C-alpha cells in the first residue's frame, strides 16, 4: 500500500467509532499472554489503541497499561469504556512518553498503519532494553469452507491478506521493519496463532465487516454493493442464514525484541 493510501485508510476508523466499539472482536487471552511473556516488566503501551479492545484485555491480565491513539473519536470511546486507564492522544510516530518508560508495546490490528521508518525508532526510544514489540491481528479461519466463501464474496477490501489464517503470517512478517535503507531496531520476529471466535449473526457480521478500513473508504454505492454481496452470501449458507453462530477466528501475534 502506498504511503498516501496508508494514511487515508489508517485515519478512517473514527468515522465509525461507535460501531467499531460495538462490533469489533476482542483478542484471544492466550495470544495477549504470549505477546507479553518475554517482557522484562509489567509496563505496557497499547499503541493505536482505538476504542480499547486490546487495552481491556491487558487490564484484565493485570498489566500496567497506557493507551495511545491518534483519532479523537476512537479515543473518546476508549475513555468512556475504560475511564481508569491513562489514555493519551498521540501516534506511533510521535509517542507522548519518556525514553525507556515501558517494557512492552502492543498494537492490536494497528501496526500495519504505522510508518515504521519513523515509528520504529520512536517505539525503540520508549522501550526498555530487551523490551518487546508485538503486533496482534484477529484473522478469519479460512480453513473453514464457509469462511473461505465469505472472503471471496467480500473481496479484498473486506477481507484482505492480513485478515486470514492462510496469509496473515506472510502479510505481517515484516510489519515491524522500516523501509529499505533504515536501521532495524528489533531482532528476528516470532509468529504464532491462538484459537478465537466471536458470536455473530448475519446482521452483526455485516456490521463488523462494515468497520474495516477498506470498506469505510469506499464511495457509498460501492460500499452498499459490497455489503449487499456479503449479506446475500450469508443468507445462502446454512451455517449463517439464521440465528447466532461463532465466527471461526484466530488471533495471530508477531513479536520482536528491541535490539
Ligand X SMILES: C[S@@+](CC[C@H](N)C(=O)[O-])C[C@H]1O[C@@H](n2cnc3c(N)ncnc32)[C@H](O)[C@@H]1O
Alpha-carbon distance 10 to 188, whole Å?
26
- Judged by CB under 6 A, does residue 57 bind ligand X? no
Nearer to ligand X, 87 or 240 (CB): 87
Nearer to ligand X, 23 or 146 (CB): 23
Q: Which stretch binds ligand X (CB under 6 A): 50-58, 121-129, 156-164, 176-184?
A: 50-58
Question: How many residues does the structure list for the chain?
Answer: 259
CB of 153 to ligand X, least distance (A): 21
- Judged by CB under 6 A, does residue 114 bind ligand X? yes
Rounded to the nearest 10 degrees, the angle between the axes of helix 202-209 and helix 220-236 is 150
CB of 162 to ligand X, least distance (A): 10
Cell of 177: 521493519
Per-residue x/- mask for ligand X, residues 84 to 113, rule CB under 6 A?
-------xxx--------------xxx--x
Size of the site for ligand X (CB under 6 A): 21
Q: Which residue is at the shortest CB distance from ligand X?
A: 50
Give the other-Cβ count within 10 Å of 23's Cβ: 18
Rounded to the nearest 10 degrees, the angle between the axes of helix 53-60 and helix 29-36 is 70
- Judged by CB under 6 A, does residue 160 bind ligand X? no
Alpha-carbon distance 33 to 171, whole Å?
22
Where in 65-84 is the site for ligand X (CB under 6 A)? 69-71, 74
- Judged by CB under 6 A, does residue 245 bind ligand X? no
Alpha-carbon distance 124 to 105, whole Å?
9
Give residues in contact with ligand X (CB under 6 A): 10, 13, 24, 47-50, 53-54, 69-71, 74, 91-93, 108-110, 113-114
Amino acid at each position: 500500500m502506498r504511503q498516501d493510501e496508508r494514511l487515508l485508510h489508517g485515519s478512517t476508523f473514527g468515522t465509525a467509532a461507535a460501531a467499531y466499539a460495538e462490533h469489533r472482536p476482542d483478542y484471544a487471552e492466550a495470544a495477549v499472554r504470549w505477546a507479553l511473556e518475554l517482557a522484562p516488566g509489567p509496563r505496557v503501551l497499547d499503541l493505536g489503541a482505538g476504542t480499547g479492545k486490546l487495552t481491556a484485555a491487558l487490564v484484565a491480565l493485570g498489566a500496567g497499561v497506557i493507551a495511545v491513539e491518534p483519532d479523537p473519536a476512537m479515543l473518546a470511546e476508549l475513555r468512556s469504556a475504560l475511564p481508569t486507564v491513562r489514555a493519551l492522544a498521540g501516534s506511533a510516530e510521535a509517542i507522548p512518553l519518556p525514553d525507556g518508560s515501558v517494557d512492552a508495546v502492543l498494537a492490536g490490528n494497528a501496526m500495519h498503519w504505522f510508518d515504521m521508518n519513523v515509528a520504529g525508532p520512536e517505539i525503540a526510544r520508549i522501550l526498555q532494553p530487551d523490551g518487546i514489540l508485538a503486533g496482534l491481528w484477529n484473522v478469519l479461519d479460512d480453513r473453514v469452507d464457509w469462511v473461505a466463501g465469505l472472503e471471496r464474496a467480500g473481496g479484498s477490501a473486506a477481507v484482505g491478506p492480513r485478515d486470514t489464517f492462510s496469509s496473515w503470517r506472510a502479510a505481517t512478517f515484516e510489519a515491524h521493519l522500516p523501509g529499505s535503507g533504515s536501521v532495524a531496531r528489533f531482532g528476528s520476529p516470532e509468529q504464532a496463532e491462538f484459537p478465537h471466535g466471536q458470536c455473530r449473526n448475519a446482521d452483526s457480521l455485516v456490521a463488523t465487516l462494515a468497520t474495516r478500513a477498506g470498506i469505510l473508504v469506499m464511495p457509498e454505492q460501492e460500499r452498499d454493493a459490497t455489503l449487499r454481496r456479503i449479506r446475500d452470501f450469508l443468507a445462502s449458507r446454512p451455517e449463517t442464514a439464521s440465528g447466532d453462530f461463532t465466527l471461526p477466528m484466530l488471533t495471530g501475534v508477531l513479536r520482536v525484541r528491541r535490539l
